Amino acid sequence: TQLLEQSPQFLSIQEGENLTVYCNSSSVFSSLQWYRQEPGEGPVLLVTVVTGGEVKKLKRLTFQFGDARKDSSLHITAAQPGDTGLYLCAGVVVYRTVGSARQLTFGSGTQLTVLP
């Protein structure tokens, strides 16, 4: 079982502040995804990072994949109340050799609250 640990578990900040959340594992992933889940909804894909050291930006969100492809971070600049939600990282592992099927392993998430 591949274990993904996310930190912090809970984060409450004021609008306009910056923040970073982390996703760490002792396992190597072929790629890693970040999702955001809002109350009463399912997770929605934000980004996929594939290459070690890769940095991707999505407006005020910056995602980085570790050089060894074992960890990732999400940095939000000037957070807004609309950023509130549960942020989940998910590592992609090959779980079958036949057909190269892949499975997503999820972390337990960081619950972010941005106060106006």
Segment (H or E) for 105? strand 102-106
Residues 3-42 that bind other proteins (CB under 8 A): 4, 9, 30-31, 33, 35, 40-42
Least separation in angstroms between residue 113's CB and other proteins is 16
Judge contact between 48 and 33, C-beta under 8 A. yes
Handedness of CA 21, 6, 82, 64 (dihedral sign): positive
| DSSP state letter for 100 | G
Q: Does 92 engage in binding with other proteins (CB under 8 A)?
A: yes
In the block, residue with structure tokens 């509130």:
84
Least separation in angstroms between residue 24's CB and other proteins is 13
Nearer to other proteins (CB atom), residue 82 or residue 116: 82
The binder of other proteins chosen from 62, 64, 73, 104 (CB under 8 A): 104
Least separation in angstroms between residue 30's CB and other proteins is 8
* Count of all residues that appear for the chain in the document: 116
How many CB atoms lie under 10 A from the CB of residue 5? Answer: 14
Q: Does 102 engage in binding with other proteins (CB under 8 A)?
A: yes
Q: Does 59 engage in binding with other proteins (CB under 8 A)?
A: no
